[in-house]
Amino acid sequence: MFSYPAKFTAGRKAGGYVISFPDVPEAVTQAECMEEGIDMATDCLEMVLAAYIRLGRPIPAPSTPKRGQRSIRLPFFVALKVELYNTWLQSGVKKAELARRLRIPRANVDRLFDLKHFSRPEQIEEAFAALGKQVDIQVRGVT
C-alpha cells in the first residue's frame, strides 16, 4: 500500500545509521543496526504523518525508491487511514458534513484519521463510501 523510500546513512564516528525520508523531510531518526533502523524508521514515519494530519497538511505519496534506498512499509490500518485522510482532504467536504453523512458525532470523524486509534474496518469503508470512493484490497506475492 504505502511504502516510503528511506535513506540509511552510516554514522561516521558513533556508528549506526541515520535514517531519512526524501518524501517526508521532517522524518529523521537513527539506530544502531539495520533491524532496529527499520523499526525506528516505521515509528518515526508514523509519528510525522500523524503530525501532518493534526496540522491539516496533505500526506505526500511515496516515490519510487532509488538505488541504495530501502522501502519502509506503513502498517495496513495506518496506510488505510492515511488514504482516507488524503481522500477526505481532496474532497473539500467539511468534517461536520462527513459526520452528518456517516450519522456519527463530529469527534468520531477525528478518530477515523487518528493513526493510533483503532477504527473498525466497516467504519473506514463507510467513510470512503460517504466520500464517493470504494475500498478494494489487492494481495500480491512478496518480492
| pLDDT tens digits in sequence order for the chain, 143 residues long | 689 999 999 877 777 999 999 999 999 999 999 899 999 999 999 999 999 999 999 999 999 999 999 999 999 999 999 999 999 999 999 999 999 999 999 999 999 999 999 999 999 999 999 999 999 988 888 76
Q: Which helix H or strand E contains 78, and what residues bound it?
A: helix 76-91
CA 24 to mean position of chain CA atoms: 11
Characterize the bridge pairing of strands 17-20 and 70-73.
Answer: unpaired
CATH 1.10.150 fits 76-130, yes or no: no
Where along the chain do the CATH 1.10.260 domains lie?
76-130
Domain 3-73 listed as CATH 3.30.160.250: yes
Q: 21 with 27: CB under 8 angstroms?
A: yes
Task: Report pTM.
Answer: 0.91
